[in-house]
Structure 1
Amino acid sequence: MDMFIDGAWSATATGATRAITNPATGAVIDTVPWGTAEDADRAIRAAATAFASWKRVPVEERARLQHRAAAAMREASEEIARLLSLELGRPLKGALQEVRRAADLLDVYAEEGLRLTGEMRQSALPGEKVFVTREPVGVVVAITPFNYPINLLVFKLGAALIAGCTMVAKPADDTPLSTLKLASVLHAAGLPKGVFNVVTGRGSEIGSALIAHPVPRKVAFTGGTEAGKKIAALAAQTMKRVTLELGGQCPAIVRADADLGVAARAIVNHAFANSGQFCYRVNRVYAHRSIYEALLEGLAAHASALTIGDGLAGDVSMGPLVNEKIYANSAAQIADARARGARILTGGGRLSGDPYDKGFFLPATVIADADHSMKVMTEETFGPVIGVMPFDSDVEAVERANETRYGLAGFVFSGDIGVALTMAEEIEAGSIWINDIHRSRHDVPFGGMKESGVGREKGHYGVEAYLEYKTTYLSYRGALA
């Protein structure tokens, strides 16, 4: 599959390609171009040409096209989801859900665009009007991760398009196929050429070229914190705006008065979704000492019931980890916890034998008796591993929850809503769930505090991140006849 530039498939001039493999089987699915700075320039110039006309399309027409694009995504959802499952290893059911949720987000953004307004200020001067309007920021570079390649792209794409921006996207090296397919689907649905372009290649080459290029005015990135810092530094050289959704090490607090059945189920379902490969998953759990062993029993029971295998081979709960690097981080955290005296209640080691030998299959791993000397409680895991630690007071639990450089999400389980809300106020995170965990809503802001990022996505908050304010002063003279 080639890159998608200016409404057409495009190879790189060098002819270099990279194989895309199925992480469950090791089989090569397809190849993509290993693009260069020259390819980045071609895509950006196509987006810049398209921007000149796209920004002038009335927002009502952009919304109509975006709704049509969402409908086309749903029609092609099974084809896109199959590619996503092949390249990521996620069970097909979850891949299909991602594509359809992303289509819903396109619709939400379209409606938010129709609600954008400007202002006319009251002026103290006779013969003067002051208008405050919002204009699209310009060409946008989107750099997206492997774990939710469609949904996290649409976080950015849907907001940019309805605002009047055009985009060049660079998907993750492991999962470009679903994004490339999406580009062709949206173009066939009526999105003008050059409005949405996709390039593939090494981040240090084509990614850096996109960010450093003088034409784009914004970079939107989801990924690791260290990569985000480098992107922000490079973007600052040309004063580009940035939206950065970065790492997380998210705490869950379970008080003595919590419904332990609900808490155990919610924590396991959330922590091990997508094999733990997402940023706002539960990474560490703090349980009141009086219910500590009971909660551990519930967590272990739910985690042990999760099935693992090839996402296209049957109805399984978890697929493989996407590559050796991602697996190695989880393995290192498990080994570190063992060495420091923790108990491994479930999982704890890579599965072997047929059909597991060809992929990095790690079962849901629950680590008991963890503490903050262990990596699992202090570093992002991005895999199917959680650490559990007892606490004795609410103050201690909140202090432990905030003892991190991250601040993406937090979770509280308690029968006392007043205490739970107070904890939510004190936890330093962009989103807090109380007494259950579900997907983040499309109409409210999503993003992090501290080193978990800059800016917010989703809802009108996301659209506004792609707009500039402009103030116009109008002086006039007129006399009534």
Structure 2
Amino acid sequence: MEHNIKHYPCYVNGQWIDASNGATFNVVNPANEEVWATVPDCTEEDVNLALTTSKEAQLSWQMLPAIERARYIMKIVDALKPKREHFARLLVLEQGKTLAEAFGEFDDTLNYLTYSAEAARRIQGEIFPSDSPNEQLMITKVPYGVCLGLCAYNFPLALIGRKIGPALVTGNTMILKAHEATPITASEFCKVVDEAGLPPGVINLVSGAGIDVSSQLVTHHLLV
């Protein structure tokens, strides 16, 4: 029934937003094909906002020591832990997993994020001997910049953890675009990001029902 349908916004630059033109699309429970939620059907304007704010946030994020970035990731982990039941039941409703599988996906997500945070101490360059006297050759690892996380429908939460952990700990910012069949988990995950206090723009979320949002993201000059 329509009065039970809940709306889940996108998350851009630390703010909850809807599509600039007010458009939405429905999310369907795969078990009974009932509409139970709506999310924004984002526009090119919304995509550009996500891209520009991710770019603006990236330099200051990169300048943080890796161990500080790792602490933010662990804040996400700590904020997620009390919500295990909530996310597991959300995965059942949105993706159609059994409850046991949903709990497993939640636990895997914590492990992915923790592993990435622990890798902060292992981000190292290399020094090579030179063919010339009094010279050393050094390789320093630097962030890519703004990264894009296109998430498939089958693991709505775990794929977020697998993507944002390595990207963030190495100094990148990320735009998430969830699959149109399972966008709610991403919106709820961003509530945790907000709770953990990540700087605005480090993680942005947009959603879209068709190919427009994805095609705009993958062809934008900031990401190619």
> Does the pair score TM above 0.5?
yes
Q: Which stretch shifts more, 166-175 or 110-119?
A: 110-119
Distance between the aligned counterparts of 1:55 and 1:63, measured in 2?
12
Distance between the aligned counterparts of 1:202 and 1:139, measured in 2?
23
Is the 1:63–1:113 Cα contact (8 Å) retained in structure 2? yes
Which of 151, 167, 173 is the equivalent residue of 1:166?
173
Return the offset for 1:22: 1.3
Q: How does 1:408-419 map to 2 (within 5 A)?
A: none
Larger radius of gyration: 1
- 1:36–1:159: structure 2 CA closer, same or farther, 3 Å change rule? same
Which of 47, 53, 58 is the equivalent residue of 1:46?
53
> Is 1:200 aligned to residue 207 of structure 2?
yes
Is the 2:145–2:172 Cα contact (8 Å) retained in structure 1? yes
Q: Which amino acid aligns with 1:56?
A: M
Q: How does 1:15-164 map to 2 (within 5 A)?
A: 15-164=22-171
The residue that corresponds to 2:218 in the other structure is 211
Which of 174, 182, 200 is the equivalent residue of 1:175?
182
Q: Which amino acid aligns with 2:78?
A: A
Distance between the aligned counterparts of 1:30 and 1:181, measured in 2?
13
Identify the structure with the greater helix proportion. Answer: 2
Return the offset for 1:127: 4.0
Q: RMSD over aligned Cα, in angstroms?
A: 1.4
The residue that corresponds to 1:379 in the other structure is none
Distance between the aligned counterparts of 2:32 and 2:211, measured in 1?
28
The residue that corresponds to 1:10 in the other structure is 17
Q: Which stretch shifts more, 119-128 or 164-173?
A: 119-128
Return the offset for 1:52: 1.2
Distance between the aligned counterparts of 2:130 and 2:153, measured in 1?
51
Is the 2:25–2:209 Cα contact (8 Å) retained in structure 1? no
Is the 1:29–1:87 Cα contact (8 Å) retained in structure 2? no
Q: Deviations over 1:379-403 (max 9, x none)?
A: xxxxxxxxxxxxxxxxxxxxxxxxx
State the identity %: 35
| TM-score between both structures, scaled by the size of structure 1 | 0.44
Return the offset for 1:92: 2.2
The residue that corresponds to 1:302 in the other structure is none
Distance between the aligned counterparts of 2:220 and 2:38, measured in 1?
26
Q: Give 5+ residue unaligned stretches, structure 2.
A: 1-7
Q: Which amino acid aligns with 2:64?
A: V
Return the offset for 1:54: 0.5
Distance between the aligned counterparts of 2:29 and 2:131, measured in 1?
66
Q: Secondary structure at the match of 2:73?
A: helix
Q: Which amino acid aligns with 1:183?
A: C
Q: Which amino acid aligns with 1:45?
A: T
> Is 1:186 aligned to residue 193 of structure 2?
yes
Return the offset for 1:203: 4.1
Distance between the aligned counterparts of 2:70 and 2:126, measured in 1?
21
Q: Deviations over 1:182-204 (max 9, x none)?
A: 01202211221111111000341
Is the 2:73–2:114 Cα contact (8 Å) retained in structure 1? yes
Q: Give 5+ residue unaligned stretches, structure 1.
A: 217-239, 241-481
- 1:185–1:128: structure 2 CA closer, same or farther, 3 Å change rule? same
Q: Which amino acid aligns with 1:152?
A: L
Q: How does 1:460-475 map to 2 (within 5 A)?
A: none
How many aligned positions are there?
Answer: 217
Q: Which stretch shifts more, 80-89 or 131-140?
A: 80-89
Distance between the aligned counterparts of 2:36 and 2:59, measured in 1?
37
Return the offset for 1:82: 2.0
Q: Secondary structure at the match of 2:33?
A: coil
Is the 1:145–1:172 Cα contact (8 Å) retained in structure 2? yes
| TM-score between both structures, scaled by the size of structure 2 | 0.91
